[in-house]
Structure 1
Amino acid sequence: MARFIAADFIMNVPIPPIFLYEVDYSFYEVMDGLQRLTAIYDFYTGAFELEGLEYWQELNGRKYQDLPEQVRRGIDRRYLSSIILLQETAKSNDEAEFLKQIVFERLNSGGEKLTPQETRNALHNGKFNQLCIKLGQNPLFRKMWKLPLESESEKLLEDERYRKMEEVELVLRFFAYRHIDEFRGMTVEKFLDDYLKQANHYPDQTREQLEILFNETIEVVYDIFGESAFLLPPIGKAYKSPTKTIYDAMMQAFARNIENKEKLIRQAKIIKQNLYVKPKLSAHRTDKSIFDGRYTGSNAVQKRIDFYHQFLQDYIS
């Protein structure tokens, strides 16, 4: 996208305006157009060379600072329009968030519908959201979810889950479900929205601690289950794809027992063998809804967390 923006600047092709929200006097938050601004910044700082120009082919392979002076002066005269939603439009922070949500949805209603996580990324792209993006690159996490690694650029571009930021939402779910008691009377989408808005205000120390917790939990789960983690119980048939139903609960149970990770890893083989087969813990045989992905409410999730948590107690006591 960056190269297309640069080409448009050279040819003086109009670029759609950006939308800003005034968070404080003369301080703005980008609601729509961050990619355009980033592309322009990268172009001016020499982050990439021009390529694919059809009408100015002699400029291909050059960075901004390598362009002829006359061309640079022409580019510098270009401008990017902006539409600003003023702070006084909203009477409170809640009203401001609601207003931004409406504006953003209307801006994106004409094209391909964004996923909830893509919308979160645009509306609430604070430090915690950036942490979720970073943790989504954890190679063990990606292996368990059968996602291309960050180094596999071609596969990433072809992966629809990556384009929709599904791995980022999975990370967010891990942190949000640590507060499952607050997940009452609302949809999962709103629960995640509300949590991210709060978490973006966490202090640096809290974010650092949560980053460690996520990485350690992923490590112990991978050491025990490998790439077969997060599969549904083999009731009647074997499953091959990971599910949120198992991921949400298993991750919470292991995170709650992370101080015993060394004990658990030492018993990895027997833990993997005994999961779902020990009679006293085979709750799925009497309550099939416990592992039914159609049940996503807080009570169902809590049942699944309790199942894994109780199972682990035999290996840490």
Structure 2
Amino acid sequence: MMAQLAKAAQKQLADLLFPVRAARGEEEDGILNVPLHERRLQTETYDFTILTIANLLREEKIVVPEFQRKYVWNRNQASRLIESIIIQCPIPVIYLDQEDDGTLKVIDGNQRLMSIRLFFENGFRLKGLRAFPDLNGFLFRELDPRFRTHIENRTIRCITILKETHPQIKFDVFERLNTGAVQLNPQELRHGLYHGSLMEKLDELGEYEPWQELSGIKDDKRMRGAELILRFLALRFKLDEYEKPLATFLNKFAQGNRDVGKDDEFENAFKKSVDGMKALLGSKAFRLLDADGKPDNNFNSAVFDAQMVGFALSGRSPKNISKELGAEFLPRYVALQTDREYVRAVSASTSDRPLVHTRIELFRSLVQEIVPV
């Protein structure tokens, strides 16, 4: 008994000190779908001088994407980095992602890079130095020219993931390097890796008031709503190409549509479906209902797929849905939830291609039966 208690205590301590990351789900194992010969990371390694890095940052040839992880280092941390450069202490490797236009986007190392840029722009005075306390209080421009030259000529190793690397491999590497205090979720990673007008559009659509009302997502700090909107758009416009895992499907769609321009097709499709669901089900949308039509408290992503994409593909307009029609629709939808195929499609192995198609098709058919053209 004592041995068992000791072993349990040891396990508890180990869990505290060395937490085990949750196992990757089926939808996250997209790397297995990449052909073996394309799973190799294609990289180039550069030893950039600090001056070169500062210039590349200023010219925006190296860019820090604007997503969840902001600049959070305090002046002591930034100053210690500069001191490490002065004493030639090894600096951790910077990881960069090469865009199609040759721009290098930071995957890991933005705190270090932003600290270097700020210092070269005289953005902070050195503080808390230990090896060279006499330099405390100085801006970069105020340092002796010999110190400035010494700093400028130091190097940091930068590993660039070349644009020829398979997109899913890039995403996997980005995830592996995600070692911040707050772990980024898949949509936050996409927002950084595929940042462009599509990601901006997702943020914009997330502000649509009827969507916030139905989804209950009003403060989308962790981008849950943005991922759901991306999920709708991907299934609405590329349903025939859908293959599991879902995460890889969303990655491909995000990459292929990252610069959507001013085309309002995505916006119109999303708002039309949201308005349709508001007219048909109101607060009962996106949730399982019991036999009396009472909604479950939990948002159901599979039900969301069925309703949003099904309505979009029905060819019906929310303008043709009266209150009376909504009242007629509700019991028919409650009855649909007793259909064995529908229940299976929204409750188990929901990312399987046949089940995705099944739930969308069943809801689409129901809408077409009741809502006039």
TM over 0.5: yes
Q: Whole-Å Cα distance in 1 between the matches of residues 340 and 161 of structure 2?
A: 57
Asked if the contact 1:21/1:29 (under 8 Å) is kept, the reply is yes
TM superposition shift of 1:276: 2.3
Kindly state the Cα deviation for residue 263 of structure 1 after the two structures are TM-superposed: 0.5
- Amino acid in the other structure paired with 1:180: L
Which residue in the other structure is 1:233 paired with? Answer: 289
User: Aligned partners of 1:266 and 1:40: how far apart in 2?
Assistant: 61
Deviation at residue 305 of structure 1 after TM alignment: 1.4
2:90 paired with 1:21: no
Alpha-carbon distance between aligned partners in 1 of 2:240 and 2:337, rounded to the nearest angstrom? 22
Give the corresponding residue for 1:85: 160
1:38: Cα distance to partner? 7.3
1:83-139 alpha-carbon deviations (Å, 9 max, x no partner): 14164xx7xx3x353553454244236876543223322322232233223323333
Q: Which residue of 2 aligns with 1:154?
A: none
State the 1:283 CA deviation: 6.3
Alignment pair present for 1:173 and 2:243:
no
Q: Deviation per CA, 1:7-35, whole angstroms, max 9, x where unpaired?
A: 64467576966422334686322323457
Question: Structure 1 residues 25 and 223 mapped into 2: Cα distance closer, same or farther (>3 Å)?
Answer: closer
Is the 8 Å Cα contact of residues 71 and 110 (structure 2) preserved in structure 1? no
Query: 268, 271, 296: which is aligned to 1:212?
Result: 268
Aligned length: 278
Q: Given residue 310 of structure 1, which amino acid in structure 2 is its aligned partner?
A: S
Distance change in 2, residues 1:104/1:229 (3 Å): same
Aligned residue for 1:156? Answer: none
**1:158-169 to 2 correspondence within 5 Å?**
162-163=221-222, 165-169=223-227
How far did residue 248 of structure 1 move?
A: 0.8
Q: 1:299 aligns with which of 333, 354, 366?
A: 354
The yes-or-no answer on 1:309 pairing with 2:364 is yes
Pairing of 1:106-145 with structure 2 (within 5 A): 106-108=176-178, 114-145=184-215
Of residues 319, 331, 335 in structure 2, which corresponds to 1:274? 331
Equivalent of 1:262 in 309, 314, 319: 319
Whose relative contact order is higher, 1 or 2, with alpha carbons under 8 Å and at least 6 apart? 2
CA deviation after TM superposition for structure 1 residue 5, in Å: 4.7
Structure 2 Cα separation of the partners of residues 228 and 119 of structure 1: 31
**Long gaps (5+) in structure 2:** 1-69, 85-90, 129-136
In the TM superposition, what whole-angstrom CA distance separates every residue of 1:144-188 from its partner, at most 9, and x where no partner exists?
2222446xxxxxxxxxxx43x22221111001112222123x311
**Post-superposition offset of 1:2:** 3.5
> TM-score scaled to structure 1, two decimals?
0.68
Unmatched runs of 5 consecutive residues or more in structure 1: 56-68, 151-161
- TM-score after normalising by structure 2: 0.59
Q: Which has the larger radius of gyration?
A: 2
Residue of structure 1 equivalent to 2:170: 100
RMSD: 4.2
Please give the alpha-carbon distance, in whole angstroms, between the structure 1 residues aligned to 2:326 and 2:229.
26
Q: Is the alpha carbon distance of 1:245 and 1:82 closer, same or farther for their aligned partners in structure 2, counting shifts above 3 Å?
A: same
State the shift of 1:213 in Å.
Answer: 1.9
Using the TM superposition, give the Cα deviation of residue 6 of structure 1 relative to its aligned residue in structure 2, in angstroms: 5.4
User: Helix, strand or coil: the match of 1:284?
Assistant: coil
User: Secondary structure of 1:137's partner?
Assistant: coil
Confirm whether residue 146 of structure 1 aligns to residue 191 of structure 2. no
Bigger mean CA deviation after superposition, 168-177 or 137-146 = 137-146
Kept in 2, the 8 Å contact 1:124–1:197? The answer is yes
The answer to whether residue 342 in structure 2 is matched with residue 285 in structure 1 is no
1:30 equivalent among 100, 103, 106? 106
